[in-house]
């Protein structure tokens, strides 16, 4: 296997972080909706925490995309 092939495999693995971020955000949104339905008065706090945690999950996907682009640039 050539060096370019290994770089392509590494870039593909780096892109898989998007799946983890999507699953994490989906679970967080599900639990937030459940929390608001159980306690509507706390919806402001729940929304704030959910947005912060979703942002952190999305940042991991962006880091994976940046790493993949950097690896592709090395080919």
Asked if the model's pLDDT at residue 50 lies above 80, the reply is: yes
Helix/strand/coil for 44? helix
Of 16, 26, 23, the residue nearest 65 (C-alpha): 16
Residue-wise pLDDT tens digits, 1-24: 678 888 899 998 988 888 988 898
pLDDT attached to residue 1:
63
Asked if the model's pLDDT at residue 71 lies above 80, the reply is: yes
Helix/strand/coil for 30? helix
Provide the percentage of residues in the chain whose pLDDT is more than 90.
36
pTM for this prediction: 0.73
Chain mean pLDDT for the chain:
89
Locate tokens 């339905």: which residue? 37
The domains of the chain, with CATH numbers, are: 3-73 (1.20.20.10)
Q: Are 54 and 25 in contact (CB under 8 A)?
A: yes
């Amino acid at each position: 296997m050539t060096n370019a092939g290994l770089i392509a495999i590494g870039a593909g693995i780096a892109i898989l972080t998007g799946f983890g971020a999507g699953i994490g955000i989906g679970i967080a949104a599900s639990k937030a909706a459940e929390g608001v339905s159980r306690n509507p008065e706390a919806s402001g706090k729940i929304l704030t925490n959910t947005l912060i945690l979703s942002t952190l999950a999305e940042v991991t996907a962006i880091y994976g995309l940046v790493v993949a682009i950097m690896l592709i640039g090395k080919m």
